[in-house]
Amino acid sequence: MEFDFLKPLDSEILQFIEEVSSQQLGSKVIVHTADDFPDLDKIKIAIIGVLENRGESNQTEEIDLSHIRKELYGLFPGNWDASIADLGNILAGNSITDTHFALRKVVSSLIKKKIIPIVIGGSQDLTYALYRAYDELEQMVNLVSIDSKFDFGKESDAVSATSYLTKIIIEEPNNLFNFSNIGYQTYYNSQEEIDLIDKLFFEAYRLGDISNNISIAEPVFRDADIVSIDLTSVKSSDSGNNSPFTPNGFSGKEICALSRYSGISDKVSLLGIFNHNNSNEESVLIAQIIWYFIEGFHYRSNEYPFGSRENYIKYIIPLEEELIFYKSNKTDRWWIEIPFISYGNNKLKKSSLLPCSYEEYLGACNQDIPERWWKAQRKNIL
């Protein structure tokens, strides 16, 4: 049984939860104890800890997630109605591969049950296991990483927090349709890596561009299946993580806003938060990142790809290649159609809608074809 990989919460956390008030989040979460495993039939969100950080070279001490849980369960929930469970921790296996196997099995089972896992690590190479969890679902996967680096490595490198993306790209079966990086800092990435992102028709958004207009990230999350957060993308003055010291990065407010975008997305089915440095200060931030994701989840509108197109206004822009936009009557959000091409090796088996912004629609009206649409088309037929 895949859930046998999950170890119950320890007595210290259970004692803390018993002492919180009936209005705090801890009293409303169903927890995995030594005597009882939560009934998953009514659970919508499951929190999982992974005590594995061997993929992060500068991390020497064992990971401790107890501070995060205390901070999170001491918060007050919003007007939430979805059931949340804390399923405990996956312990580090004999090897990193063993840990990846256990995480993949647990996450895959939860996704099949329509439960959204929130995975707290541990080193970011665990993202590779999250991606592999979708193998059994037989679908193309869109991965969004909030990170100052792209995490490419050599093909011969073992999977690690700084090289997992290469493993995802080159390994079969290749179910990755799109990769998007949010918040990269140019001086941490070689020009060859930046060029490779373009060559593969992936997307990358610089830290400064997102900080100047954070709303440009929203359509990216709206099309994501997995969101992976590297906590070193947050500047040290806001995270409390001084090892390594990060003078530039997202503010606490910005990372929480990005997490909320992830939660609001009707398509996101998995959140991972990685490279925690065990500090109490960073635990406060992680708890709030999780809080905002759950808050966003409760504002999901169940639009495309889960709803019909009946409640959309259709706009046709006559360019060299006709562009078709849709605007939701419900939320005023925008999509652009990626047409099905009858020839070639299409990754998408039918026409689909790509989330976009109102600004991209206005650009198309002025003969400016949206770059995200062009890249999505190229990825589809290559």
Q: What's the per-residue H, E or C state across the chain?
A: CHHHHEECCCHHHHHHHHHCCCCCHHHHEEECCCCCCCCHHHEEEEEEEEECCCCCCCCCCCCCCHHHHHHHHCCCCCCCCCEEEEEEEEECCCCHHHHHHHHHHHHHHHHHCCCEEEEECCCCCHHHHHHHCCHHHCCCEEEEEECCCCCCCCCCCCCCCCCHHHHHHHCCCCCEEEEEEEEECHHHCCHHHHHHHHHCCCEEEEHHHHHHCHHHHHHHHHCCCEEEEEHHHECHHHHCCCCCCCCCCECHHHHHHHHHHHHHCCCCCEEEEECCCCCHHHHHHHHHHHHHHHHHHCCCCCCCCCCCCCCEEEEEECCCCCEEEEEECCCCCEEEEECCCCCCCCCCCCCEEEEECHHHHHHHHCCCCCHHHHHHHHHHHC
Name the superfamily (CATH) of residues 2-297: Ureohydrolase domain (3.40.800.10)
Where does the chain hold its CATH 3.40.800.10 domain(s)?
A: 2-297
Per-residue pLDDT of the chain (382 residues; tens, 9 = 90+): 789 999 999 999 999 999 999 999 999 999 999 999 999 999 999 999 999 999 886 666 788 999 999 999 999 999 999 999 999 999 999 999 999 999 999 999 999 999 999 999 989 999 999 999 999 888 889 999 999 999 998 887 888 988 999 999 999 999 999 999 999 999 999 999 999 999 999 999 999 999 999 999 999 999 999 999 999 999 999 998 887 899 999 999 999 999 999 999 999 999 999 999 888 999 999 999 999 999 999 999 988 766 677 789 999 999 888 999 999 998 999 999 988 765 555 555 567 889 999 999 999 999 999 999 999 888 876 6
